């Protein structure tokens, strides 16, 4: 297992040894060996590198347990306001190194492994990414959990424990091929199953209206089995919980009511119910109206709200000290943050629980619901907006459809009272879209059911205010911080495509085709390589982003809500060439516009161009270089064996390019010439890098969460530490 250490590694080890407490190291070695023996049931003759990783993971995990239990005890006793961050995605990546860093164990573990003849970085590389997200939205949720723990907030992340996360991307003959992400195959040392807290989630059935209220009956039940993952704060002894639900068929599933083919068939059909948590939908910024996805969304919402209300009921303000639960205190003790509209069903579900089960009046329940819930919008692209067909809703969640209709009836009554006779406004603001197939607009549902709505960057919030009906918008900035060493060369390109997302896959194929030509051109030689980074994921971002010199953030103004990669590159010493879009705008504000390479249309220019009419061929005919590039792509220069391969991409660019990229082309090329000129002057380049790094503080997710806490949740973040526990297992 051990590999000979280079001089560099040795120096690193020696410097590390001075920092690691000797007792700590001895104890870590002992516990590592104990776990190898008792947990992995291996000795050093037969142990694999993966066994050593698991032994180290369990050793480190032991140091979380005391802090975890004591943090939760502390919350139970102090009963602070709880924040519930509900998200269909938590893109966590790896856990081992983050845990060691936050618990200040990294040096001691490194030394302990070294003394055992093992290389810690090699062991770290055995950990699977927890890839339970598509991109920015899921990574944001992961960063927010980290920051909420670091700021001492009594916070919980709630989501789905997908058995298969985002697919592994293989490039085969230049094409993307997807492979299932079987991340749990060897077990997950960071999670703890809690079957004792299993909760029923209901689907289908029908409603009965009685004088004493509405009953939802004849439902099919799926159980939600929680798995808890510890979320340590940065060196403050706080350990919060991420609770992910897994679908489990009840024992009587299909045996009593829906018996189709007898006992064996009923047991086999349990898979159908358990498919709910089988796989993450690999759609980034795209709405695919599949029934299974709606089931996932309601599944996480229903199980989570049961947990929230149980915890509230046993709290001081619930019934622990009061005979009957006083739900009017719910908004003082609970904040629910909806990560995009994916968990929007929390709004009608909370209404259903309060009205149908807890027998509150509609008015009282609605006031509680609105003051408890807040919504973060992540995009204005129409293809990403969730618009569920009413028919599907009626079938899967009949009671919730009635509730949504009632929310809408009252909402439109208010609008009509404010704007008498304005029927067009009523149509625009309705939660229900008429005309053709009736659909529920989930963003509208979130806006009327929340007390705060925020976009993810200033410009995005401004666009939301100008284009969508938003009563009150607070603004926020997301961010992700990565630290690491440069391990890759800078000429790196990456992009992303969900399976079935045809255009994106064709773009990947075009990039690999250009690589085949450029990388084998004898004149170009080794001076330029076009490389498509296969299987981009959190682990690869941690390595690749610090290696980059130039960050290209070139979305057409008004189309990228924020971006988060832009900020990661800024922090890690790359300069940005970008449009005035998303968080680029604030990056320019913070670092100084002269320290970024800004080009292209502003939002107003794009609007003007839309009015004038965008015609790609004008740019194509006017700019010979652009024409040549497009002609080469269309004519098979990059695909000599299949000259027509990229005709559809060219056709898209020339005739239906919603993003109007040719309109920014000329300015982009001019701007790249400025980049080239500055790159030849390392001193001036480095100056700008320093202004960027010095200016990126605003983009800390700690800063963002402190702002959410104060402006949305009515909570005060703290840098106080909990007392350190006795770690001895």
Ligand X SMILES: *Cc1c(COP(=O)(O)O)cnc(C)c1O
Which stretches of the chain bind ligand X, using CB under 6 A? 135-136, 139, 480, 536-538, 541, 563-565, 568
Comparison of 135 and 189: residue with beta carbon closer to ligand X: 135
Comparison of 330 and 567: residue with beta carbon closer to ligand X: 567
Comparison of 337 and 551: residue with beta carbon closer to ligand X: 551
Full DSSP string of 212-228? TEEEEES-EEEEEEEEE
Question: Which residue's CB atom is positioned nearest to ligand X?
Answer: 565
Residue holding tokens 């992910």? 244
Q: How many angstroms separate the first and last alpha carbons of the chain?
A: 27
Comparison of 331 and 546: residue with beta carbon closer to ligand X: 546
Question: Of 357, 382, 374, 355, which is closest to residue 366 (Cα–Cα)?
Answer: 355
CA distance linking residue 443 with residue 571, whole number of Å: 32
Contact criterion met (CB below 8 Å) for 393 and 404: yes
| Sign of the four-CA dihedral 109, 152, 189, 275 | negative
Comparison of 82 and 537: residue with beta carbon closer to ligand X: 537
Instruction: State the minimum distance, in angstroms, from the CB of residue 538 to ligand X.
Output: 5
CA distance linking residue 105 with residue 472, whole number of Å: 44
Comparison of 477 and 541: residue with beta carbon closer to ligand X: 541
Instruction: State the minimum distance, in angstroms, from the CB of residue 237 to ligand X.
Output: 28
Contact criterion met (CB below 8 Å) for 701 and 584: no
Comparison of 295 and 537: residue with beta carbon closer to ligand X: 537
Comparison of 135 and 331: residue with beta carbon closer to ligand X: 135
3-state SS, residue 429: helix
Instruction: State the minimum distance, in angstroms, from the CB of residue 568 to ligand X.
Output: 6
Instruction: State the minimum distance, in angstroms, from the CB of residue 560 to ligand X.
Output: 8
Comparison of 536 and 614: residue with beta carbon closer to ligand X: 536
Contact criterion met (CB below 8 Å) for 31 and 60: no
Comparison of 371 and 537: residue with beta carbon closer to ligand X: 537
CA distance linking residue 192 with residue 243, whole number of Å: 9
Instruction: State the minimum distance, in angstroms, from the CB of residue 542 to ligand X.
Output: 8
Comparison of 333 and 537: residue with beta carbon closer to ligand X: 537
Comparison of 181 and 228: residue with beta carbon closer to ligand X: 181
Instruction: State the minimum distance, in angstroms, from the CB of residue 584 to ligand X.
Output: 11
Comparison of 480 and 596: residue with beta carbon closer to ligand X: 480
CA distance linking residue 592 with residue 589, whole number of Å: 5
Instruction: State the minimum distance, in angstroms, from the CB of residue 472 to ligand X.
Output: 26
Instruction: State the minimum distance, in angstroms, from the CB of residue 148 to ligand X.
Output: 18
Comparison of 108 and 561: residue with beta carbon closer to ligand X: 561
| Apex 587 CA angle, 584 and 591, nearest 5 | 145
Comparison of 123 and 538: residue with beta carbon closer to ligand X: 538
User: What tokens appear for 103 in the block?
Assistant: 């618990």
CA distance linking residue 481 with residue 572, whole number of Å: 9
3-state SS, residue 353: helix
Instruction: State the minimum distance, in angstroms, from the CB of residue 564 to ligand X.
Output: 4
Region of residue 624 (left: phi > 0; alpha: psi -120 to 50; beta: else): alpha
Instruction: State the minimum distance, in angstroms, from the CB of residue 563 to ligand X.
Output: 4
Residue holding tokens 């495509």? 497
Instruction: State the minimum distance, in angstroms, from the CB of residue 91 to ligand X.
Output: 6
Comparison of 139 and 293: residue with beta carbon closer to ligand X: 139
Q: What is the dihedral of CA 297, 298, 300, 305, to 10 degrees?
A: 140
The two beta strands, 90-93 and 130-132, are antiparallel
Question: Of 498, 569, 109, 543, which is closest to residue 507 (Cα–Cα)?
Answer: 498
Contact criterion met (CB below 8 Å) for 638 and 632: yes
CB contact burial 87-101 (16+ within 10 A = b; e otherwise): bbbbbbbbbbbbbbe
The pair phi, psi for residue 375, each rounded to 5°, is -130, 135
Comparison of 51 and 664: residue with beta carbon closer to ligand X: 664
3-state SS, residue 409: helix
Helical H runs in 229-361? 262-268, 270-274, 291-313, 330-333, 346-352
Instruction: State the minimum distance, in angstroms, from the CB of residue 57 to ligand X.
Output: 21
Instruction: State the minimum distance, in angstroms, from the CB of residue 136 to ligand X.
Output: 3
CA distance linking residue 73 with residue 79, whole number of Å: 10
Instruction: State the minimum distance, in angstroms, from the CB of residue 536 to ligand X.
Output: 6
CA distance linking residue 67 with residue 63, whole number of Å: 8
Q: Where does 421-549 show beta strands of DSSP type E? A: 432-433, 439-441, 452-454, 473-474, 492-493, 531-532
User: What tokens appear for 616 in the block?
Assistant: 């790609």
Question: Of 549, 511, 472, 603, which is closest to residue 174 (Cα–Cα)?
Answer: 511
Instruction: State the minimum distance, in angstroms, from the CB of residue 178 to ligand X.
Output: 16
CA distance linking residue 177 with residue 534, whole number of Å: 10
Instruction: State the minimum distance, in angstroms, from the CB of residue 374 to ligand X.
Output: 22
The pair phi, psi for residue 359, each rounded to 5°, is 60, 35
Instruction: State the minimum distance, in angstroms, from the CB of residue 541 to ligand X.
Output: 4
List, in order, residues 6 or more apart from 204 with CB less than 8 Å away: 218, 219, 220, 395, 396, 398
Contact criterion met (CB below 8 Å) for 23 and 111: no
What is the DSSP-derived secondary structure letter of residue 476? Answer: -
Reported as type and span, the H/E element at residue 43 is none
């Amino acid at each position: 297992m051990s590999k000979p250490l280079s001089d560099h590694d040795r120096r690193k080890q020696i410097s590390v040894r001075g920092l690691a407490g000797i007792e700590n190291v001895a104890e870590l070695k002992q516990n590592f060996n104990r776990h190898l023996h008792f947990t992995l049931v291996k000795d050093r003759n037969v142990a694999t590198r993966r066994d050593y990783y698991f032994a180290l993971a369990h050793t480190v995990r032991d140091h979380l347990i005391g802090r975890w239990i004591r943090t939760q005890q502390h919350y139970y006793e102090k009963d602070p306001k709880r924040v519930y961050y509900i998200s269909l995605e938590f893109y966590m990546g790896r856990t081992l190194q983050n845990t060691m860093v936050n618990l200040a164990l990294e040096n001691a573990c490194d030394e302990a492994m070294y003394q055992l003849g093992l290389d810690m970085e090699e062991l770290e590389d055995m950990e699977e990414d927890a890839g339970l997200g598509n991109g920015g939205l899921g990574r944001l949720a992961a960063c927010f959990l980290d920051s909420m723990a670091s700021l001492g907030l009594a916070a919980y992340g709630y989501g789905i424990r997908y058995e298969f996360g985002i697919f592994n991307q293989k490039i085969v003959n230049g094409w993307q091929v997807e492979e299932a992400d079987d991340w749990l195959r060897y077990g997950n040392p960071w999670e703890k199953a809690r079957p004792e807290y299993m909760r029923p989630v209901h689907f289908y059935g029908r409603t009965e209206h009685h004088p004493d209220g509405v009953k939802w009956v004849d439902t099919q039940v799926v159980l939600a089995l929680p798995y808890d993952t510890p979320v340590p704060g940065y060196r403050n002894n706080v350990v919060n919980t991420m609770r992910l639900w897994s679908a489990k068929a009840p024992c009587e599933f299909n045996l009593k009511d829906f018996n189709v083919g007898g006992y064996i068939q009923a047991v086999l059909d349990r898979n159908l119910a358990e498919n709910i948590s089988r796989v993450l939908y690999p759609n980034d910024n795209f709405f695919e109206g599949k029934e299974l996805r709606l089931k996932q969304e309601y599944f996480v919402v229903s199980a989570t709200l049961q947990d929230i209300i149980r915890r509230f009921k046993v709290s001081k303000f619930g019934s622990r000290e009061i005979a009957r639960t006083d739900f009017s205190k719910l908004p003082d003790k609970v904040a629910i943050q909806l990560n995009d509209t994916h968990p929007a069903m929390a709004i009608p579900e909370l209404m259903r629980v309060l009205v149908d089960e807890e027998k509150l009046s509609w008015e009282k329940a609605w006031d509680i619901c609105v003051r408890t819930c807040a919504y973060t919008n992540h995009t204005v692209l129409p293809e990403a907006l969730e618009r569920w067909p009413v028919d599907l809703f009626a079938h899967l969640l009949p009671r919730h459809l009635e509730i949504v209709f009632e929310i809408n009836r009252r909402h439109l009554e208010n609008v009509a009272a404010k704007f008498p006779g304005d029927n067009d406004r009523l149509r625009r603001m309705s939660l229900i879209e008429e005309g053709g197939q009736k659909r529920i607009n989930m963003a509208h549902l979130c806006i009327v059911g929340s007390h705060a709505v925020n976009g993810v960057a200033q410009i995005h919030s401004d666009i939301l205010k100008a284009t969508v009906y938003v009563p009150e918008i607070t603004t926020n900035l997301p961010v992700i911080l990565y630290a690491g060493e440069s391990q890759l060369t800078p000429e790196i390109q990456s992009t992303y495509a969900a399976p079935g997302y045809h255009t994106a896959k064709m773009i990947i194929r075009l990039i690999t085709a250009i690589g085949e030509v450029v990388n084998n051109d004898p004149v170009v030689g080794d001076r330029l390589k076009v490389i498509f980074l296969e299987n981009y994921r959190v682990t690869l971002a941690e390595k690749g982003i610090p290696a980059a010199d130039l960050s290209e953030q070139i979305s057409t103004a008004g189309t990228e809500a924020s971006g988060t990669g832009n900020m990661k590159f800024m922090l890690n010493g790359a300069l940005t060439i970008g449009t005035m879009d998303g968080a680029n705008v604030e990056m320019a504000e913070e670092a100084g516009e002269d320290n970024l390479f800004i080009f292209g249309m502003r939002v107003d220019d794009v609007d003007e161009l839309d009015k004038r009419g965008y015609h790609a061929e004008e740019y194509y005919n006017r700019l010979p270089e652009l024409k040549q590039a497009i002609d080469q792509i269309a004519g098979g220069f990059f695909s000599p064996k299949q000259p027509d391969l990229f005709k559809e991409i060219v056709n898209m660019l020339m005739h239906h390019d919603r993003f109007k990229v040719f309109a920014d082309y000329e300015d982009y090329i001019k701007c790249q010439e400025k980049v080239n000129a500055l790159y030849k002057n390392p001193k001036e380049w480095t100056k700008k890098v320093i202004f960027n790094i010095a200016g990126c503080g605003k983009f800390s997710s700690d800063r963002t969460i402190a702002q959410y806490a104060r402006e949305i949740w009515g909570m005060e973040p703290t840098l106080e530490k909990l007392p350190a526990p006795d770690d001895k297992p």
